[in-house]
Amino acid sequence: MERGFDTGREILKWVAIVSMTIDHVGASLYPQYEVLRLIGRLSFPLFCYLLVLGLENTRNVGNYFVRLFLFALVSQVPFYLAFGIEPFESFNIFFTLSSGLAFIYFYKSKNAPLALLPVLASSLLHFDYGIYGIFLIGCMYLIREDAELGTVSVVLLNLAFSFM
């Protein structure tokens, strides 16, 4: 399959990167300015959607997972240093993204019991965004499959977690 330059995807990547940077600046340098954190909240759903797009275009899901997981391991040290947490108190967003990729992969392969492993791991190991993050990645997958069902699932997921 020949892949060309996708302007829309590149724009989404840059919006996600810029909003993430604003979030991190707000979290680490200017915690008193909540607006920076609010702007940053846009980045995670965009990265979830981009992950799903990446899954659709990868030739090797295993390699895609390994790259994400290795980056999760490498970036854990800067994560806990930047945010002043213990090394294994919480795990960075790349653990959530790699687990979300595994969740979709197992879901697509109709292997529901294995799809629960990333959900369980995200809860027990305290990944950024936790179970919500894994399910949001699943919702983004549903959006690609059925826009109406996916949109409803995102709304319901956010309603459910807004009360928690």
HSE-CB for 137 with a 13 A CA cutoff: 34
Q: Which domain holds residue 122?
A: 43-162
User: What are the tens digits of pLDDT across the range 103-143?
Assistant: 999 998 887 889 999 999 998 999 999 999 999 999 999 99
25 within a domain of the structure (yes/no) = no
Taking the C-alpha atoms of residue 6 and residue 160, their distance in angstroms, rounded to an integer, is 34
14 within a domain of the structure (yes/no) = no
User: What are the tens digits of pLDDT across the range 56-106?
Assistant: 989 999 999 999 999 999 999 888 887 788 878 899 999 999 999 999 999
38 within a domain of the structure (yes/no) = no
32 within a domain of the structure (yes/no) = no
Taking the C-alpha atoms of residue 119 and residue 121, their distance in angstroms, rounded to an integer, is 5
Give the SS3 label for residue 59: coil
Q: Are 103 and 137 a contacting pair, CB within 8 Å? A: yes
Q: Are 46 and 16 a contacting pair, CB within 8 Å? A: yes
pLDDT of residue 158: 93
5 within a domain of the structure (yes/no) = no
HSE-CB for 132 with a 13 A CA cutoff: 16
23 within a domain of the structure (yes/no) = no
30 within a domain of the structure (yes/no) = no
Task: Tabulate helix, strand, coil % of the chain (nearest 5).
Answer: 80, 0, 20
pTM score above 0.85? yes
135 within a domain of the structure (yes/no) = yes
Please tell me the total count of domains within the chain: 1
